[in-house]
A and B are shown apart, each in its own frame.
Chain A
Amino acid sequence: MNHLRRLILGEQGLVVLFVVAFAAVALLVPNFFTERNMLGLLQSVVTIGIVSGSMMLCLASRDFDLSVGSTVAFAGMAAVMGSNMTGSVTLGVGLALLAGLVVGTVNGVVIARLRINALIATLATLQIVRGLALIASNGRAVGVNEPGFYTIAQTVVFGIPAPVWVMVVCLAAFGFVLNRTVFGRNVLAVGGNPDATRLAGVDVVRTRIWIFAIQGVMCGIAGVLLASRITSGQPNAATGLELSVISACVLGGVSLAGGRAAISGVVVGVLILGIAENAMNLLNIQAFYQYLVRGLILLLAVMLDNLRSRALRRS
């Protein structure tokens, strides 16, 4: 019993629980552990997964970003309209990334330089950017004219769809950035104590702006892949994405108080959300229940995290 406790409340407790849950679902839910379903599952979490990496940095530095859903939709719209207008997929994609970068940088400057509370600032950009997407498209979906644009999401490399590869690379890159770069360590230090970090000679304002700028670009990438998969620019795409992404991070043990984050946790968090949805789909459970289950999973995970930090403090 004590052994089990230590395993679950230990450093890798989340991963252990995840493996157990995964095995249980694989055994109990028919058609779950098949190649086709696994690939489908991974594809369904691409948007969340790509944005989660940068959201992890954002939360780790004690910041917050509610505007990611809107930015994904806006960037997707920019990609479709850009490639339709110029006839070049590359230009369209470039425009989408630029759109994301601009939104993110504006967020960063407003929050870090002008010192506006991140929750409020991104609540504002959430609405502004969604509004821009609606205005640009006149509220309607914009179909893709360039065939090259569909193929982004349809490309398969080594049997795995390209968007999944992009997600894997992004998550790996964020793990590397967090652990092995000065930037990543500074992000954690800013989250641990921003004042002390500034007095230790770290340019805190610049670090925070960078985090939001990167977040914007990641939204741009996610927006392109999403638009390519649904073959159109949808002004209402990715509504509520910010909640899923923050849930995934928190599930993964990223502290909202800043200073604590690990990419392995975020990966697990993303997968838990994906598996819950996927398993319920396979079991033909009505979509309404999925909200309930996701909420409960989040609550459980946070309570577990609470137990874990208390156990850590005691030792």
Chain B
Amino acid sequence: MDAASPVLRVDNIAKGFPGVRALKGVSFTVPAGTVHGLLGENGAGKSTFIKILGGDYRADEGTITMGGTPFSPATVKEAMAAGIAVVHQELQLVPELTVGENLTLGRFPNRGGIVSFRALHERAESALAAVGGGIGSRTKVARLSIGQRQMVEIAKAVMEDAKVIALDEPTSSLSANESDVLFRLIDSLRARGKIILYVSHRLDEVFRLCDGATVLRDGHVAAHFASMAGVTRDEIVRRMVGREIKDIWGWRARQLREEVLAVRDLSGARLPAPASFSIAAGEILGFFGLVGAGRSELLRLVYGADMRQGGTVTLAGEPVVATPKGAIGVGLVMCPEDRKADGIVQGRSVAENIVISTRRHFSRFGLIDSAREASVANGFIEKLRVRTPSRKQDIVNLSGGNQQKTILARWLAEPALKVLLVDEPTRGIDVGAKAEIYAILYDLAEKGLAVGVVSSELPEVMGICDRILVMREGRVVAEFLRGSFDEHAILAAALPGDHDP
């Protein structure tokens, strides 16, 4: 690298929000032509930093310089002009427009206001060729896979001639193949002298891709590695959490009792192949598989959230009505995968979110019993240690972990609970809250509940479950008992490709 090549220098960046110091004294440098990992737990400040870099937020203090020129983007447009492009986790494309239109959005080549589509697609095609992947400029974005959409976003950055490209958790919803394509693209961008900031939880990827890394913890730089040589996985983890984590799972052996939930040949529109399984009282059953393997779909069918096409669900021998209301009535409940879309009721208080279902037990003639509702809500807020200023707080103001606890409280308040199904219970939740949620699950299983857990994190499923079912492409393909859990075998069963018959 010659002296003229631009270096990204971050100097003493600080940013506060009401009541929180999100970032303080963040400084590091990244040379051109390198991939730099930005690591840290949830809430460590990675997203805040990326947003400052991309012009979504303004830093309270500090400077960022690119090749010696300081800049502080106040808008996304300014960041782009300074050569910064951010590819967010939620992709920012308009699905109903073509790839080319998305790439040139805001700057359509035109003559007197009339769009010149030929010029538009020519420009887009050349940027697309640079990222590879064979995406056509005239294809509608709605028809692309998530991986392809990400390529389009990167093509946009290339087209803008961005010097720094920040990727926020780019592989979180990609298949292994798509990830490989992405990695090759990152390699080629590095070869062309770009700076890539790579935000990820997946340390394997960080070791595969990154030349250096910065670890954030509680808003400050916990470690900066100019080179990854000699850096171990354990060291990074230790820097991320600031303490030794030996066993965050805390699993203990439990007495398994009679079978409670029996699912036979269940199928639905999004899960055409019939699936069967059962859970015993006191058991925690894990469902592992890649995104799209059909785990959430299966749970939703059991709960009656989606329409069943065939099969039966029985609870202690009795058939369960295929609606959420029917399932709740017999003590079968589910915490959905997408907390925001399907779990919390926005705009309503924590208390309302807790009692929404269970209030039917103590409301007479359809009238609310406010005193009883308050005491139920307060009881669970205390018991599950939901961190909220009051039960009257709007639930959207709570952190993800506390929202999850609120939804758990909604079901724990049910007097005759028998089966609890939880879908990605710890997604987007920090380590401390995770351990608390595991403790709640163990406690329930101990009391004789049948618990089903869907998770995409293999260590989590292996850490907390008594038995694991692996799903692949809409089918239950393998079963593992605790004691014979084997990371490689479980993962191999989950991956699509050649398998023994």
Which residues of chain B have C-beta atoms less than 8 A from A188's C-beta? 347-348, 352
B305 within 8 A of A: yes
Which residues of chain A have C-beta atoms less than 8 A from B356's C-beta? 185-186, 189, 197, 200-202
Q: Are B305 and A199 in contact (CB under 8 A)?
A: yes
Residue among B18, B329, B357, B367 making CB contact with A200, cutoff 8 Å: B357
Q: Nearest chain B CB to A66's CB is how many angstroms away?
A: 24
B359 within 8 A of A: yes
A11 within 8 A of B: no
Residue among A179, A180, A201 making CB contact with B357, cutoff 8 Å: A201
Q: Are A192 and B346 in contact (CB under 8 A)?
A: yes
B363 within 8 A of A: yes
Report B365-391 CB contacts with A as 1/0, cut-off 8 Å.
011101000000000000000000000
Q: Nearest chain B CB to A59's CB is how many angstroms away?
A: 13
Which residues of chain A have C-beta atoms less than 8 A from B324's C-beta? 198-201
Which residues of chain B have C-beta atoms less than 8 A from A191's C-beta? 347
List the B residue with the shortest CB-CB distance to A198.
Answer: B324
B448 within 8 A of A: no
**Is chain B's binding surface mostly helix, strand, loop or mixed?**
helix
Which residues of chain B have C-beta atoms less than 8 A from A183's C-beta? 366
Given contacts A199-B334, A201-B324, are A180 and B352 in contact (CB under 8 A)? no
Which residues of chain A have C-beta atoms less than 8 A from B334's C-beta? 199
Which residues of chain A have C-beta atoms less than 8 A from B363's C-beta? 182
Q: Nearest chain B CB to A284's CB is how many angstroms away?
A: 44
For window 81-112 of A, CB contacts with B under 8 Å fall at none
Q: Nearest chain B CB to A104's CB is how many angstroms away?
A: 19
Q: Nearest chain A CB to B117's CB is how many angstroms away?
A: 32
B447 within 8 A of A: no
B453 within 8 A of A: no
A260 within 8 A of B: yes
A154 within 8 A of B: no
B342 within 8 A of A: yes
Which residues of chain A have C-beta atoms less than 8 A from B329's C-beta? 201
Residue among A181, A192, A200 making CB contact with B347, cutoff 8 Å: A192
Q: Are B325 and A203 in contact (CB under 8 A)?
A: yes
For window 326-378 of B, CB contacts with A under 8 Å fall at 327-329, 334, 336, 341-348, 352, 356-357, 359-360, 363, 366-368, 370
Residue among B336, B342, B348 making CB contact with A189, cutoff 8 Å: B348
Residue among B18, B344, B357, B367 making CB contact with A181, cutoff 8 Å: B367
List the B residue with the shortest CB-CB distance to A181.
Answer: B366
Size class of the B contact interface (CB-based, 8 Å)? 20 to 34
- Distance of A213 Cα from B364 Cα, bound (Å): 23
**Is chain A's binding surface mostly helix, strand, loop or mixed?**
helix
Given contacts A180-B368, A199-B334, A200-B410, are A259 and B347 in contact (CB under 8 A)? yes
Chain A contributes a number of interface residues (CB within 8 A of B) equal to 26
For window 196-216 of A, CB contacts with B under 8 Å fall at 196-203
Which residues of chain A have C-beta atoms less than 8 A from B352's C-beta? 185, 188-189
Residue among B346, B359, B360, B368 making CB contact with A259, cutoff 8 Å: B346
Which residues of chain A have C-beta atoms less than 8 A from B342's C-beta? 193, 195-196, 199
A314 within 8 A of B: yes
For window 135-187 of A, CB contacts with B under 8 Å fall at 179-183, 185-186
Report A254-269 CB contacts with B as 1/0, cut-off 8 Å.
0100111000000000
Q: Are B348 and A180 in contact (CB under 8 A)?
A: no
Q: Nearest chain B CB to A179's CB is how many angstroms away?
A: 8
Scoring B325, B328, B359, B363 by chain A CB atoms within 10 A of each residue's CB, the highest score goes to B325
Residue among B18, B303, B345, B359 making CB contact with A196, cutoff 8 Å: B345
Q: Nearest chain A CB to B20's CB is how many angstroms away?
A: 14
- Distance of A203 Cα from B325 Cα, bound (Å): 7
Which residues of chain A have C-beta atoms less than 8 A from B366's C-beta? 181-183
Closest 5 CB pairs of A and B: A259-B347, A201-B328, A192-B345, A192-B347, A201-B357
Q: What would be 23 A-B contacts, judged by CB atoms less than 8 Å apart? A: A182-B359, A185-B368, A188-B348, A189-B345, A189-B348, A189-B356, A193-B341, A195-B342, A196-B336, A196-B343, A196-B345, A197-B345, A197-B356, A199-B303, A200-B328, A200-B345, A200-B357, A201-B324, A201-B327, A201-B328, A201-B329, A201-B357, A255-B347
